[in-house]
Structure 1
């Protein structure tokens, strides 16, 4: 029978191994001065609000600020906010790119996804960086797509956090304008309360009409 201590030790080993397998560690072992750009987006599946992309550029000297960084979905909102504020007070460079719901309706979510990632990356790319994006093929030849990239790249995980906090804060603000839709809690995702509000009150000017949200 496995004891609680053995389970704890196994989790600790897994955590340490996961950190050591981050792609940046391999890159920086070969070249400590190499910059890495990571990019990710949030809000793709939402009923309302924008899709937000972020690219961040880091190198080995930034690592001390990134010890808590991991997949944004595995962090509490408070932890994401703390990391966001730490990064804003460092020299780490990041770019936020946005396509609002009107642009999503006009061009489609796939194109909007490509736009926010491409735009944010191009504003940081000087041609000498290693560039990684989370599980999305974009129209840039020098970019490597990583499946489950947030678990494999510190830069991608950080980009996800910066994008999510930026978008979440915007949706909380929009909840003041549209309190019936509970945007402060659902952030535009299709929760039951959000669906019920759509049925009762209709669509706001934040909703994506191309997603066919109104019941027939």
Structure 2
């Protein structure tokens, strides 16, 4: 289970405000990528909080509700939509969304623990933590917020585009999603720069 050890190490190194940063939705063929940044209060704990990928949807929703209700927690969130993803590529769009999520915190001199590899040219001092959402509570909290907010958005898209089943697969390239793409063609929330969508776009 994640803990606050990495946060305490960063504070011992002289950083005062430690921000966990994570994203959700880099792999799907449709929808935005979602990024969140979280500052947890000193000594924070939660019995269920873990890497969002290890948790059921029900548990994610419960933890998300707890995070939203706790006034001690500071958080920021940002999307990179399909236009941004297609314009600058998914990796750069993800990093841009992360930076915007941190900016929303409106704090001075944050030090960011970012899930994954180090992010080049990130506008804030930062450290990449591989599999950080399973090590750092701050990153785990960011992973929950990023994932649940994106899921909610994809459920809304499911109502807008009922033939695609976005509420079920959340835009990932499942067999059902690929079949719907083949039958109906890409929507305006499909990532035209992603190969399966690009190939169908050429056929339109």
TM > 0.5 fold call: yes
**Are 2:102 and 1:121 equivalent residues in the alignment?**
yes
User: How far did 1:126 drift?
Assistant: 3.1
* Unpaired segments ≥5 residues, structure 2: none
Choose which of 82, 86, 97 in structure 2 pairs with 1:101. 82
Corresponding position of 1:90: 70
Which residue in the other structure is 2:38 paired with?
Answer: 56
Residues 33-72 of structure 1: pairs in structure 2 closer than 5 A: 34-61=16-43, 63-64=44-45, 66-72=46-52
Residues 64-107 of structure 1: per-residue CA shift (max 9 Å, x gap): 4x231111010000100011111111111111111111111112
Worse-matched range after superposition: 136-145 or 122-131? 122-131
Structure 1 residue 116: Cα displacement: 0.6
Kindly report which structure 2 residues correspond to 1:47-196, keeping only aligned pairs within 5 A, or say none: 47-61=29-43, 63-64=44-45, 66-91=46-71, 92-124=73-105, 126-136=107-117, 137-138=119-120, 139-140=122-123, 142-196=125-179
Task: Find the residue that maps to 1:119 and give its secondary structure.
Answer: helix
| Structure 1 alignment gaps of length 5 or more | 1-17
Could you list the per-position Cα deviations for residues 49-68 of structure 1 after superposition, in whole angstroms to 9, with x for gaps in the alignment? 0011000111225x14x231
Question: Contact 1:35–1:58 at 8 Å: present in 2 too?
Answer: no
Aligned length, in residue pairs: 195
Name the CA shift for 1:203/1:19 in 2 (closer, same or farther; >3 Å).
closer
3-state DSSP of counterpart to 2:163? helix
Describe the SS at the equivalent of 1:189: coil
User: Equivalents in 2 of 1:147, 1:35: separation in Å?
Assistant: 21
The answer for the alignment partner of 1:204 in structure 2 is: 187
In the other structure, the counterpart of 1:14 is none
Quote the Cα distance in structure 1 between the aligned partners of 2:61 and 2:4. 25
| Larger Rg, first or second structure (1 or 2) | 1
- The secondary structure found in structure 2 opposite 1:140 is coil
Tell me, in whole angstroms, the C-alpha distance in 2 between the residues paired with 1:163 and 1:74: 14
TM-score, length-scaled by structure 2: 0.86
Aligned alpha-carbon RMSD (Å) = 2.2
Question: Offset of 1:181 from its aligned partner?
Answer: 1.0
Indicate conservation of the 8 Å contact 1:52/1:97, yes or no.
Answer: yes
Cα distance between partner residues in 1 of 2:139 and 2:2? 14
d(CA) in 2 for partners of 1:172 and 1:25?
A: 37
User: Are the equivalent residues in 2 in contact too, given 1:35–1:59 (CA < 8 A)?
Assistant: no
Structure with the larger helix share: 1
